[in-house]
Structure 1
Amino acid sequence: MTEVLDSRRPSVLVRLREPFGVAVAAALVCTVVWIGDPTTPGGPFPLCPVKLLFGIDCPGCGTLRMLYSVLHGDLLAAVKFNALALAALALSLWAYVAWTYGRLVGRRIWKWANYRWAAPLFLFLASAWFVVRNIPFGPFSTLRV
């Protein structure tokens, strides 16, 4: 399912301008997380407002620590900190590669985010993750960070 975006072919630099900008922004975020080390208590990153106010883990709690663990190659720790965010990161990388390839070849590449069910499924999974990780007894209590 490909579709030609434009009959005129701009240069490769013009076509890859936006993907390059996204890559630079992602590299900056990764650098800040690498330097900031969110696994260290009392570091430069604040506590999650939901956890601070209500004492429960939101679906995003542990995402910075998950990213820090991924950057250091510790996938088991990344899963422990936030498995849903790790899956979302993998899907985001897939979408980014498909988008960049589509820009490079000048065609729209069909990706998972184009499906009608993608957003409702993500909202359902985030809601389920929010509930399951806050169940106060085992084995669910091990999902808290």
Structure 2
Amino acid sequence: MTAVPGRAEGRWRRLAAPLGMLAAGAAGAAFVGTVSPYEEGHYPLCPFLGLTGLYCPGCGGLRMTYELAHGRLAEAFSKNALVFLLLPVGGYLWGLWAAASWRGAPVRTRLGSRTAIALLTGSILVFWVVRNLPFGRALAP
């Protein structure tokens, strides 16, 4: 069997989007890891928190990323438990995307896309509400 000219180059070209997303995420995490969100003036206030005084599902995400960049897992979990727990899911989905791109095939998951979106949306909404209730204060950043 002989190699098809240009086939390897096509695979690497198809990996451009997944690798670009990985590079952008790594660059963002590196930036947050070096520019502390605990010091005022480095990042803007969450607009939802500023307007309502309530935490949105993303509140604490910068501090979680900062703590992860410094290897402090427990502290990272305490800043935004939902995003922390979804990181492995995101990594898994990125791996599926990269593998499918390499093969030139569509991404396939065992869950249907509607089921996955419903689960994610439901999880975000429950987390959003619970972290703002008195008994859910442990989930606040």
Interval of TM-score (by shorter of Structure 1 and Structure 2): 0.7 to 0.9
Distance 2:107 2:51 in 1: 43
Q: 1:144 maps to which residue? A: 140
Amino acid at match of 2:86: A
TM-score by length of 1: 0.81
Amino acid at match of 2:42: P
Q: 1:32 maps to which residue? A: 31
Amino acid at match of 1:122: L
Deviations 1:23-47 (A, max 9, x none): 2211221122112211x23140112
Alignment of 1:85-100 (within 5 A): 85-100=83-98
Deviations 1:28-68 (A, max 9, x none): 21122112211x23140112111112111111101111112
Distance 1:82 1:143 in 2: 7
Q: 1:52 maps to which residue? A: 50
Q: Please state how far the C-alpha of 1:22 moved relative to its aligned partner.
A: 1.1
Could you tell me which runs of 5 or more consecutive residues in structure 2 were left unpaired when the two chains were aligned.
Answer: 1-5
Q: Please state how far the C-alpha of 1:112 moved relative to its aligned partner.
A: 5.9
Distance 1:107 1:56 in 2: 42
Could you tell me which runs of 5 or more consecutive residues in structure 1 were left unpaired when the two chains were aligned.
Answer: 1-7
Match status 1:21 vs 2:24? no
Match status 1:127 vs 2:125? yes
Distance 2:41 2:23 in 1: 24
Equivalent residues, number: 135
Determine helix, strand or coil for the equivalent of 1:85. helix
Amino acid at match of 1:101: A
Q: 1:67 maps to which residue? A: 65
Give the share of equivalent positions with the same residue, in percent.
33
Deviations 1:52-106 (A, max 9, x none): 1211111110111111222222111111111111122221111111111222233
Amino acid at match of 1:26: G
Distance 1:58 1:134 in 2: 9
Aligned CA-pair RMSD: 2.1
